[in-house]
Chains A and B, each alone.
Chain A
Amino acid sequence: MELEVQLNPLPGFPALEGAHELAWSYLLDALFADAYHAGVGRLEVVLPHPDLREGVGLRARLTPSSGDKTGLALLAPAPSGKADRVYTLEFGLLAPARLRRTKPTRPGKEPEGSLYVYTLRAKLAGLGMRSPNPAWADRAWRAVRQHFASTQSTPSFYRLLTWGAS
């Protein structure tokens, strides 16, 4: 898939470790899977952090063009443009205030799909992972995974919205 990447670093954006590394696997996989099946051949992505470049580039390399449609992924603030498929990222209740204040771009009224990632339930379950007892820590990790993402509205750190043509 043809890829164009722009960077718009967001102050206060978390390091891509632990829960955030897992969160971005959900977000980027959902984005690229949708783009592939929607027939996107060229994707323009605006990233909030330079460390995301590798994951985006790798997925683009592993995803063949499946059509001649265009995609635009606004994962950081940028002017909205014309595209057949648009993806926007918003920050939910679990994100720091400075990220929540980032003005979201909404190219329409109702998105076709929503993905809530790194949910409150997962964050609470994750407290048990600090247990010195490895069995308890393993159980907590399993609970984190069970509740980490949802397509239903729920308090979360990230929210990925998928839109039709803009």
Chain B
Amino acid sequence: MNPTLTRPQPQERIAQAIANLEAWLETLRQPGGYGGPVCHWWQNRLRYTGPGHDWRYEGILIGYLILWQKTGEARYRQRLNQAAGDLLDGQLPDGGYSASRFELNPGRLGTPHEAAATLGLLLSLPGLDNPERVLASARRNLDYLIAQLYLPGENAYRDRVPNKLATLAQALLTYAEGSGQKRYLDYAKVALEQALGYQVRQGPLAGAIHQYGPTATRGDGRFFPYYQSRCIPPLVEGARVLGEPRYLEAARQILGFIERTREPDGGWPMILYQGGGRVERPRWIAANADVLLAYRALGEPPPEAALHRLLEAQLKSGGFPTAEGFGGDQPTPHDLIPVAGWNDKVFRLLAELLPKPALKPQGRPGTPALPAPQVGLTEVQVRVADTPAWLCENHQALVIQTRSEVLYAWRKGEPWARVVHPLLDVR
């Protein structure tokens, strides 16, 4: 499947990268959770910088669980429980989460964000202080999502976006397994079958799944390699829990498509269209961690070039940039702004790649298992409407300025940016 020989990344490099990333994540903490601006293909949110109870919690929760399990350090378990507390405390009486729409925040009923956050809670149960409360909270959220999205008359979900259906299915599968409530398996199966109804069976796009279904039977002709990867772990889980080998085969076909569209430097185009066109740029950077996690979900080693490209991109502040190419050849702020809901994916990936035995404190109590973070000031030149500008970030602030004007200013810890120039407030 993967012709590139994957040699293990040096353990020290992975360990240093995750130590730096974890230090950066801590700078995003504010009352209520992890905040910060959001840059995305669909929309951006640079003004709202408050907590988002969205898919950022999937990677943060699972990443902290793995870090705690591999290092035995109590502070990672504390941070895991702190993050879980953000979701539990932010849960609304109807079971939904507040500010769960990521690139559309602040808003409610974020898909797949609420399901992804709940999946994070469920997969991190082994490290949570109050698993009964978490299970009850997860159930309330899943019941809320079913009530909002499931159409009993059609035995289908009204949100006909396969990657979102897949994430919801995985959350339902995980809850059913953890709670013994088998009826959630039926809802999961409906979601997976609905998603697979949009998979292309033959031709150059074989294996890929349409991004969206305008009707129950027709796809929209758009294929994002990134979103393909989000379908793979839920299908693998579906195959295991439901005993359905078709799901595993479908996941392998998706990975085949991802492999065929991988570029030599380890990046992927943003979109391929059914008619043959494509959007080459922007190309994801931090988000590609999800693609590498998809390889791992199928037991395949992540392509070395892709992992190298990811690690090379880490900023001095410890965060990973969003993308390259939002504005053409020159880096723009939307490329370089590190976003919690993309970096969580890197956090989880690096935690998975971290070797366990090599990092255990060897009989010296108090010796940290990870190296001390080596973070500093990110200072990168960008272009804003053909004007040179500088993006600067440290543990206190994120600022973008030209020689004469501040275009963006966010003091970390605050829920709203202080300055957002109209040139940057493109949603």
With contacts A26-B427, A134-B220, A145-B426 taken as known, whether A62 is within 8 angstroms of B275 at the C-beta atoms is no
Known A-B contacts A58-B98, A135-B275; the reply to A149 vs B422 at CB < 8 A is yes
Known interface pairs A29-B48, A32-B416, A37-B418; A61-B98 also in contact (CB < 8 Å): yes
Select one of B106, B271, B274, B417 contacting A62, CB under 8 A: B106
Q: Which of B252-310 contact A (CB under 8 A)?
A: 271, 273-275, 277, 279
Cross-chain pairs A/B with CB under 8 angstroms, 23 sampled: A22-B427, A26-B427, A29-B47, A29-B416, A32-B416, A33-B47, A33-B416, A37-B416, A54-B108, A55-B107, A58-B106, A58-B108, A62-B99, A62-B415, A63-B50, A63-B415, A64-B415, A133-B275, A134-B273, A138-B271, A138-B279, A148-B426, A149-B427
User: Smallest CB-CB separation from A28: which chain B residue?
Assistant: B106
* Chain A, range 42-96, C-beta contacts under 8 Å to B: 54-55, 58-59, 61-64
B99 contacts across to A, CB distance below 8 A: 58, 62
Q: Which residues of A contact B415 (CB under 8 A)?
A: 36, 62-64
Query: Which residues of chain B have a CB within 8 Å of any CB of chain A?
Result: 31-32, 43, 45, 47-48, 50-51, 98-99, 104, 106-108, 220-222, 271, 273-275, 277, 279, 414-418, 420, 422, 425-427
A-side contacts of B220, CB under 8 Å = 134
Min CB gap A57→B, angstroms: 10
Q: Across the A-B interface, give the 7 residue pairs with the lowest CB-CB distance, nearest first.
A: A33-B416, A135-B277, A29-B47, A62-B50, A36-B416, A134-B221, A135-B273
A146 contacts the other chain (CB 8 A): yes
Report the nearest B residue to A29, measured CB to CB: B47
Which among A59, A133, A149 is the interface contact of B425 at CB below 8 angstroms? A149
A26 and B104 CA atoms in complex are apart in Å by 11
Q: Does A25 contact B (CB under 8 A)?
A: yes
A contact residues around B416 at 8 Å (CB): 29, 32-33, 36-37, 63
Within 8 Å of chain B (Cβ to Cβ): is A102?
Answer: no
Give Cα A152 to B420, complex, Å: 14
- Name the residue on B nearest A33 (C-beta): B416
In contact, A64 and B31 (Cβ under 8 angstroms)? yes
Q: Point out the residues of chain A lying under 8 angstroms from B108, CB to CB.
A: 54, 58
Total A-B pairs, Cβ < 8 A: 71
Question: Smallest CB–CB gap between B187 and chain A, Å?
Answer: 26
The residues of A that contact B273 with a CB separation of less than 8 Å are 134-135
Please give me the residue from chain B that is nearest to A30 by CB atom. Answer: B47
Interface size class of A (residues with CB under 8 A): 20 to 34
Q: Are A62 and B32 in contact (CB under 8 A)?
A: yes
Q: Is the CB of B417 within 8 A of A33?
A: yes
CA distance A152 to B418 in the complex (A): 19
Cα-based distance from A138 to B273 in the complex (angstroms): 11
Contacts of A134 in B (CB 8 A): 220-222, 273-274
Given A36-B415, A62-B50, A62-B98: A145 and B43 within 8 A (CB)? yes
Determine the chain A residues whose CB is within 8 A of the CB of B426 once the complex forms. Answer: 145-146, 148
- A33 and B419 CA atoms in complex are apart in Å by 9
Q: How far is the CB of A73 from chain B (nearest CB, A)?
A: 15
Complex CA distance for A22 and B98, rounded to whole angstroms: 18
- C-alpha spacing A22/B104, complex, angstroms: 9
Report chain B residues within 8 Å CB of A152.
422
Out of A25, A59, A63, A64, which one reaches B427, CB within 8 Å?
A25
Interchain CB contact under 8 A, B418 and A145: no
B209 to chain A, nearest CB (A): 15
Given contacts A33-B416, A37-B418, A134-B222, 8 further A-B pairs with CB under 8 A are A25-B107, A36-B414, A36-B415, A61-B98, A134-B274, A135-B277, A145-B43, A152-B422
- Complex interface: chain A residues within 8 A of B50 (CB): 62-63
